A and B are shown apart, each in its own frame.
Chain A
Amino acid sequence: AQSVTQLGSHVSVSEGALVLLRCNYSSSVPPYLFWYVQYPNQGLQLLLKYTTGATLVKGINGFEAEFKKSETSFHLTKPSAHMSDAAEYFCAVRTFTGANSKLTFGKGITLSVRP
């Protein structure tokens, strides 16, 4: 079975500071990993994904994540936070159910950005 763990529920950073949101995975097969962002009263938007190949993945809005198999991690980073980054962030892993697959989400983490 596949799962992801997002430790903590809330991260607060100052505008311009580094953003680091942690995600650890558990998977018995090579994982497909995703980061989604959800702004208030909106759906989920894909920030980036890792399937195969390059372990450093660049996404939208200046975010990137690095797949580290030895650490079973897929942490999300952004060098300089912007006020507009305040949102809920979900890490997810593709999980197989028989011949089908689905996304298994972490519990999410709220990012606040202070002026």
Chain B
Amino acid sequence: DTEVTQTPKHLVMGMTNKKSLKCEQHMGHRAMYWYKQKAKKPPELMFVYSYEKLSINESVPSRFSPECPNSSLLNLHLHALQPEDSALYLCASSQGPSGRMNEQFFGPGTRLTVL
């Protein structure tokens, strides 16, 4: 298995809802990443997990809460989001710990719309 999967593909939520995004990889990678991407812009790094521990938080608002239950799974819990949080959320993984990242493999993304 050489891919990163993300569910759901699309998500519409209200500002008072709680939802979660899920990311999974079975390549034995030890680092996983969450990105936010607005239209026609590059991905913006949100969080990095290395060996299942949070290693980078790019000053993301607390309404986004990451979780890494095991080495294959990465979640992003969403609560009280704002319409400006609507974006494509991308997950990625890399083989080694983030300090020795050689390349990242990206999932297809979740398209999030906040009403």
Contact = CB atoms under 8 A, between A and B. Distances in A.
Interface of A: 32, 34, 36, 41-46, 49, 51, 88, 90, 94, 96-97, 99-103, 105-108, 110
A102 to B, nearest CB: 5
Nearest to B42: A105
A103 B99 contact: no
A99 B100 CA distance: 9
Chain B, interface residues (CB within 8 Å), range: 20 to 34
A102 B48 contact: yes
Interface stretch (B61-69, B72-80, B105-113): B105-113
Nearest to A92: B42
Given A100-B50, A102-B45, A106-B42, A43 B103 contact: no
B42 A49 contact: no
Main DSSP-derived SS at the A contact region? strand
B104 A103 contact: yes
A46 B4 CA distance: 13
A101 B101 contact: yes
Contact of B102 (A44, A49, A90): A49
B56 A43 contact: no
A51 B33 CA distance: 21
A46 B105 CA distance: 7
A102 B101 contact: yes
Nearest to B105: A46
Interface of B: 4, 6, 33, 40-43, 45, 48, 50, 55-56, 90, 92, 97-109, 111
A100 B98 contact: yes
Contacts of B109: 41-43
6 closest Cβ contacts across the A-B interface? A105-B42, A43-B106, A44-B106, A100-B98, A43-B108, A101-B101
B102 A51 contact: yes
Contacts of A108: 40-42
Contacts of B50: 100
12 contacts: A32-B102, A43-B90, A43-B107, A43-B108, A44-B90, A44-B106, A45-B106, A46-B103, A46-B104, A99-B55, A108-B41, A110-B40
